[in-house]
A and B are shown apart, each in its own frame.
Chain A
């Protein structure tokens, strides 16, 4: 019984997602709203403003380089969390 209710819930979620997707613009079209003015600016002026011919690198390390700094800090935080869970804590385990 529980399993059937779960299945119905997931089917409902999939139905909601599919209905919303069907109202989106089609894939592979240049008229999609995400292909907007900022993309045109990156593609037209990216080379002269940053000097990099690969626009993805230009956005990653120049226009949005502060974002990339945050990314490296996320990795650093993951390492700190991993080490603090696995390398520390032998003493607390024996007390418990």
Chain B
């Protein structure tokens, strides 16, 4: 698209959407939200960027290699956190027993592994949304 207003506004607004998504992910254990909601916000900000600037430029910002890395990296991070539970406490995805720092409830640094799992889910959901959109929009008419 060639609309100057759209380009300028999108360039200004995208970092704020992404910052809000990161805020939602990191505050998932003390406020409404979490990995799914925040990941969706980051994914939609990238979709906005793709709609305004085109697929080619968006691919330069977030390439297929990066999306493949984030897709599998999210799940592998999740499973690694679970395996820490097996090694330390004896069962998969142990939280308190695995020696994660519980902190004081209600502060940002609390709840042990829950913020880490939320970060893993957020990475996974954001990359899923942007991969779906890029794949569906790239199909050429036969």
Contact = CB atoms under 8 A, between A and B. Distances in A.
A50 B112 contact: yes
Contacts of B136: 82, 86
Contacts of A72: 74-75, 78, 120-121, 124
Interface stretch (A11-19, A32-40, A54-62): A54-62
Nearest to B32: A54
Interface residues of A, number: 28
A65 B30 contact: no
B117 A65 contact: yes
Given A68-B121, A72-B121, A52 B30 contact: yes
A61 B113 contact: yes
Q: How large is the interface on B (under 10, 10 to 19, 20 to 34, 35 or more residues)?
A: 35 or more
A47 B120 CA distance: 22
B54 interface: no
B95 A62 contact: yes
B135 interface: yes
Contacts of A86: 135-136, 139
